[in-house]
A and B are shown apart, each in its own frame.
Chain A
Amino acid sequence: MSADSAQSGGLAITGLVKRYGTVEAVAGIDLEIQRGEFLTLLGPSGSGKTTLLMMIAGFQDATAGDILLDGRSIVATPAEKRNFGMVFQGYALFPHMSVRDNIGYALSVRKRPRREIAGRVEEMIDLVQLQGMEDRLPAQLSGGQQQRVALARALAFAPPVLLLDEPLGALDRKLRIEVQAQLKDLHERVGTTFIYVTHDQEEALSMSDRVVIMQSGRIEQVGTPQELYSRPRTRFAATFLGKSNFLHRDGRVWALRPEKIDLHVGSSGDDRTTGKILSQTYFGSVLNYRVETTEFGVLEVDVDAWRGGAALRPGTVVSIGWHDEAVVPLED
């Protein structure tokens, strides 16, 4: 392969807009994506994340703006000339072709020699651990195996950028967590830039180098998972990534994560307020309380279940406190 994926794959998106009639699906996006980065576009349905991905892939034209790959504009390049790998929602494997032919397709349409294709296919089969499945048709594979074939097919021609459109949506929860780890591991091994679209915050947090939170066609906030979780800038970012309480103080809104609140019976020095437990819900590792406080309304509090001892009954009067850095001012 001539294209060494470690040497390219940096993307710059400037002022990108996609308009359908009067609706702006993508309303002006500026984004730098480093080569080799695992970047996640996270947002609810209708946030424009999939449209943005399709524009990067070349399946949607841009109404305005530009997309640069390693400094060269690709906004007018047709999809088949962009050389971006893509894993589609539902995988979109070729149903009439064997696993081998699916994976070799990109090289075969590039008219590479037969021996090179066979060698590369074998390499990819090893990479995604599908040994022994080469001659099966997609319909004869499980969902997880199909997902791996889709990955191998998209990576076979060593693209500088791999686009993934909710690739885990069709898998059950247990398998999804397993595949998340595999994907992250794969990313580290191949060094390709990954752009990953999902509405699942857990996937976004666990795999990404950086996460882009999108809403209504705009970028709400960009940052590492830690930055986004600990310093959300807007109310939307605070609720879409994790849970949050909102405190109104000094004419501002502040975010406060439920697990950063201390809750105990009786009082201690640094209490902020007192309250009465409304309800409790058990989640295995965490006990969640809804507490009616005197100053801040109803607050959600998460307590480590193993540390909390016996669950407090509704009606119990408790004291509530938090560290100063636990509250984050929002921009709203």
Chain B
Amino acid sequence: MSWVCRLYRSSLGAKYVMATTGLLLFGFLIAHLLGNLQIFAGPDAVNSYAEKLRSLGPLLWVARIGLLVIAGVHIATAMKLAKANQEARPVAYAKVTHRAVKPATKTMVLSGLVILAYVIYHLAHFTWGVIQADHAHLEEELGGGATRHDVYSMIVLGFQTWWVSASYLVALVLLALHLCHGITSVFQTFGLHHSKYACAIKMAGPAIATLIFLGYASIPAACWLGLVKLAEAQ
């Protein structure tokens, strides 16, 4: 396995790791979005989806630990690269004029760290139920005395609070910025570059980032516009 260590230690190996883990985390973003968009199908759809996820038991934990490891490797490798990059220029220029550097690229570490902080807060809110605890343990009556976790009401009540929606949107903007650079970079890192599709690759990052932003932002927007409301209010 020495070739694996050698590959990881090389500057390009670290980039393949960044691209691969980034792509896997992007996969999670898509899956999470598709799951959450079921809120538009009503309380039953979301609540039974949540119930199904929770009933996966050990499989759910495999997915959770997998995601944790992938995110951990992505962050650790990013920190390693950022440190090496800082060391590569010990004396800074007195004056710097860039021609091509884009804000999204320049702020990758910053946007990444803010997303990390947001994810922890987001878990504390909707998974651990630490924030807005009174919304976190609502139960939906299923008749016959049976109940199930009312995720639908938790989400709607959560997003009706202005600061929950505002922080969500700020994090989404940074996530979109992060994806703008990340998605286009994956192609370059794996050597997929050709004049035939160079333009499409260049557009892929901003286009997909915009779609992800709109998809996720549609949920608090719908809660605010009253398109999605509490079951009793319907």
B and A form one assembly: no
B residues in contact (CB < 8 Å) with A: none
A residues in contact (CB < 8 Å) with B: none
